[in-house]
Amino acid sequence: MTDFVLAINSGSSSLKFGLFAETNGDETPFLQGEAEEIGGTDSRLWLKDAQNHTLMNEGLPLATQSLALDEAVKALRRFTPNARLAAVGHRIVHGGPLLREHQRVTAELIHKLQSALHFAPVHIPASIALIQATETLLPEVPQYACFDTVFHRTMPETSTRFALSDEMYKKGIHRFGFHGLSYESVLHQIGTDLPSRVVCAHLGSGASLVALRHGRSIDTSMGLTPTGGIPMATRSGDLDPGVLLFLMRTEQKNADALETLLNHKAGLKALSGGETDMRQLQTRAEQGDSKAALAIDIFISSVRKYIGAYAAELGGLDLLIFTGGIGEHSQYVRERICDGLDFLGIRPEASGRYSKVKIVPSQEEAQIARLCRRLLRSDAG
């Protein structure tokens, strides 16, 4: 009987999941689905099979991630009643300085996650809640935590350090980097054809870039938290620290108010006057909306700046990779970014594509399954 791995990928208002089987040495999706608009009035759950046929697409009251997981497990049981689960893998955005390895979920791991709440107060509580919900729903199945930060452990100290004291560094105030599972999945798909000097841009509602030398992360745009780097859908990206001091002094904003501002009311949403979807921004810009056009311009300029900086750090550029929802699907954004990079040898070709550019899908759920399978074998000795 096939042993499946259930991969769970939690977002701010969504829950992606996939049931994977090992085929020819790699993980193959058997069923994949997503709970969307969690906590909203239009939440729904859809599920597709390996041939991309829709098995269900239903509006459901999904107030929390845990309720969404409960409905997802019910759906999986409905369509695969005899499936045997070997493991459940969770994408964990941030584990703080004490959790820098993919590993099995234990009571000690939960304790370390709880001690790291201040590193990612938006993400970590939701991860803990999902792990606990999974324990209730699937008590006999081992769980594994797959951290987005692990991929960036190869960064040198010149990239991880902020210009702060050793004492601050020892407390964990340094650049961790994120989207590691996405980057790992991209490298897995490219395989041995990866050249030595690469920049990969994961562009979606959350967005970051990474500089890769021989497939290893040497620098990345996100820092201590997933708020840093380029402007995103609702996140500010990098700011002059003085901006925060100014807001604290003149508007008496406390940490919670700043958290809400930087993660939920900034980025494209703030620049455009409320819109976060790149497709809608493009439509509005084409209709003469100057705010939408400005939001797009700032986003594109920020991405291009990082590409140029990382090319300088790498001593040149052999390949630029786009992944993530915007990176994979928005030809408009890709072209706008690439049009300023001819000095790096990125030029339009007759095919309509650009030289030195690849588009590779992000496969975070498949990567979680690969890591879980590897850890299962390691645990088995």
CATH number of the domain enclosing 95? 3.30.420.40
Q: Is residue 168 part of a domain?
A: no
Q: Where does the pLDDT of residue 321 fall: very low under 50, low under 70, confident under 90, or very high at 90 and above?
A: very high
Q: Where does the pLDDT of residue 1 fall: very low under 50, low under 70, confident under 90, or very high at 90 and above?
A: low
Strand 15-23 vs strand 3-10: parallel, antiparallel, or unpaired?
antiparallel
- Kindly tell me if the per-residue pLDDT of 169 is higher than 80: yes
pLDDT tens by residue, 213-251:
999 999 999 999 999 999 999 999 999 999 999 999 999
Terminal alpha carbon distance of the chain: 21
Q: Is residue 174 part of a domain?
A: no
Q: Is residue 10 part of a domain?
A: yes
**Among residues 91, 126, 147, which one ends one of the domains?**
147
Q: Does one domain contain both 207 and 101? A: no
pTM (two decimals)? 0.96
- Kindly tell me if the per-residue pLDDT of 86 is higher than 70: yes
In this structure, the number of other CB atoms found within 10 A of the CB of residue 148 comes to: 26
Domain boundaries, position 352: 191-359
pLDDT tens by residue, 146-167:
999 999 999 999 999 999 999 9
Q: Is residue 226 part of a domain?
A: yes
* 81-114 per-residue burial string, b: 16 or more CB within 10 A, e: under 16: eebebbbbbbbbbbbbbebeebbebeeebbebbe
Phi-psi region of 50 (alpha: psi -120 to 50; beta: other; left: phi over 0): alpha
Mind telling me the catalytic residues?
Answer: 148
* Closest CA relative to residue 308, chosen from 337, 332, 331, 284: 337
